[in-house]
Structure 1
Amino acid sequence: MSQTHLPLAGKRGLIVGVANANSIAYGCAKVMHALGAEVAITYLNEKAEKHVRPLAEAVDASLILPLNVEAPDELEKVFAAIGESWGQLDFVIHSIAFCPMDDLHGRVTDCSLSGFQQAMRVSCYSFIEMARLAEPLMSQGGTLITMSYYGADKVVENYNIMGPVKAALESSVRYMAHELGPKGIRVHTVSPGPLKTRAASGIAHFDHLIDSAIERAPQNRLVDIEDVGNVCAFLVSDAARALTGEVTYVDGGFNIMA
């Protein structure tokens, strides 16, 4: 397609969560770039940079910035750099989550306060922070997208404390969609089926979760990171201007099954 026919041409967005070539965030970055968007990409720390930077360069990322959402001022510095370089922002894709392993593998009933707070801080509150910092850069409207999972709504064996954390994230999306809607800012949850990402590998018995998804989903397959990227690209596009506050499942229909 010529540049004039790329549906995201002229849009600029921040993508948070690229760790390697199998990351959901990288699938989004590849699709967004292919459809004409200009992207900024973050990496967690100096150790991660050597893995992320080549991927960011492969999608012609204009900005490649460090971001640990638990580190003081790093999030503010990312948005300040975007404001200085671009002056405006059209979309943010938030694809980060974390929980200490002991809490992730234990019962919700036994979760530690520190583990719960850290899981909420990284996986949920950081999206609220990004929305707040993005708001003044979205004077012409924009789109905020975060990633959830079916375990936010139903009990999924071994998903444990991340279920309540993702439920809080989905609820936050609905409230922010209400609050930011008058400014033309749309807020979405995308809920992919299980994917073989580094983050997902921390879930106990993840292979069983994968097998179950393939067996039960109407399409009898796993989705991939490009499937998720394509849905996010649609939500960012002007074609989705009437949509906000929803949970969009990208799971081959798994979520409809009893």
Structure 2
Amino acid sequence: MTDFLNLSGKTIVVAGVANKKSVAWFTAKTLEEQGATVIYSVRSEARKASLTKLLADKPVFLCDVEEEGAATQLAADIAAAGFGPIHGLVHSIAFANYSEGFKAFEETKRADFLQATAISAFSLVELANAFKPHFAPGASVVSIGISSLTVTPDNYGYMGPIKAALDSASRFLAKSFNPQPGVRFNVVGSGPLKTSASAGIPGYLESYLYSEKLTFRKQNLATQEVANTVVFLLSERSSGHNGSTLVVDAGLGSNFYDAEIIRLAMRPETGPAGPGNPNS
């Protein structure tokens, strides 16, 4: 049987595994199933300890991207351990300080915005630069973004502009790295997922269920579906993709005028449509 993705024997760095629900973990697991060697980067010793069972006997390195120079050290540590060349890098890192709850956007604190930008967006630039000498020709860098950069959810706060910065940074890196050394940069624009990070967003469950009604199939994304797209972009089969954002949202972004949603918004007293509802 032909190995269509041709990932067997390739070495991929996956940054941002938080737990078994994270996109990074689903991506790493799928890569390993395809025969790739996955090198894991986690934020701290505490995070590494929490992942002991999940990442047992796997190469795990520390990199707190909030610290200046951490990306450079990560690349040096991985090279010193004998791994290379690097055929791919997954950036699945994001953080926002919502400890004081959500506020009006104009009330965003400078320190919070700059911290979130450094961790969630600029870290892609630092990691790309740090690994530049170690990338194999045609290597692929994939970041995890969001499906729409124009929506303004009340409970996402200042992370919307920061995800837009991540998206833009990926395109500028694609330009900067080409035509030599020819490394590709793309973003997977994911619709809402059930992850531990999303669970910490106030009101997220209602937003998640609302989004599900807007998908064409009336079923939200599985994390594995997003991971599958990441793995495709890491493979040579996606060679035509560079500087792009590949949206994975089950049709969410194209279904704002869904008849059921309109009915529920305009005539909520009618209840769910169906044979048991006399108002249907």
| TM norm structure 1 | 0.92
* Cα distance per residue 1:91-138 (max 9 Å; x no partner): 110111111114762222110000000010100010110111121111
Tell me the SS of whatever aligns to 2:216: coil
Residue 233 of structure 1 and its aligned partner are, at CA, apart by: 1.1
Report 1:106-185 matches (<5 A): 106-182=103-179, 183-185=181-183
- Is the CA contact 2:10–2:36 (under 8 Å) kept in the aligned structure 1? yes
Q: 1:45 to 1:177 in 2, by over 3 A?
A: same
- Is the CA contact 1:103–1:112 (under 8 Å) kept in the aligned structure 2? no
Aligned Cα root-mean-square deviation (Å):
1.9
Moved more, 131-140 or 114-123: 131-140
- Is the CA contact 1:105–1:203 (under 8 Å) kept in the aligned structure 2? no
Q: Hey, what does 1:92 align to over in structure 2? A: 89
* Cα distance per residue 1:191-218 (max 9 Å; x no partner): 1111121111222200011101110011
2:79 to 83, 86, 99: 83
Work out the CA distance in 2 between the residues paired with 1:242 and 1:86.
27
Q: 1:188 to 1:5 in 2, by over 3 A?
A: closer
Residue 151 of structure 1 and its aligned partner are, at CA, apart by: 4.9
Larger Cα Rg: Structure 1 or Structure 2?
2
* Cα distance per residue 1:50-90 (max 9 Å; x no partner): 22232223xx63x2111211134332221112222123111
Q: 1:103 to 1:146 in 2, by over 3 A?
A: farther
Work out the CA distance in 1 between the residues paired with 2:254 and 2:63.
36
* Corresponding position: 1:37 with 2:33: no
Q: Hey, what does 2:13 align to over in structure 1? A: 14
Counterpart code for 1:23: S
Moved more, 248-257 or 102-111: 102-111
* Cα distance per residue 1:154-176 (max 9 Å; x no partner): 21231110000001111111111
Q: 1:20 to 1:107 in 2, by over 3 A?
A: same
Counterpart code for 2:250: G
Structure 2, unaligned stretches of length 5 or more?
Answer: 257-280
Moved more, 48-57 or 135-144: 48-57
Residue 5 of structure 1 and its aligned partner are, at CA, apart by: 6.8
* Cα distance per residue 1:184-242 (max 9 Å; x no partner): 21101111111121111222200011101110011211212211111111111111111
Residue 139 of structure 1 and its aligned partner are, at CA, apart by: 4.2
Work out the CA distance in 1 between the residues paired with 2:120 and 2:100.
14
Work out the CA distance in 1 between the residues paired with 2:148 and 2:201.
12
* Corresponding position: 1:28 with 2:27: yes
Report 1:57-76 matches (<5 A): 57=56, 61=58, 63-76=59-72
Work out the CA distance in 2 between the residues paired with 1:152 and 1:104.
22
Residue 46 of structure 1 and its aligned partner are, at CA, apart by: 2.1
Tell me the SS of whatever aligns to 1:100: coil
Q: Hey, what does 2:263 align to over in structure 1? A: none
More helix by share: 1
- Is the CA contact 2:88–2:234 (under 8 Å) kept in the aligned structure 1? yes
Tell me the SS of whatever aligns to 1:152: coil
Work out the CA distance in 1 between the residues paired with 2:103 and 2:253.
25
Q: 1:163 to 1:5 in 2, by over 3 A?
A: closer
Moved more, 136-145 or 91-100: 136-145
The size of the alignment, in residue pairs, is: 254
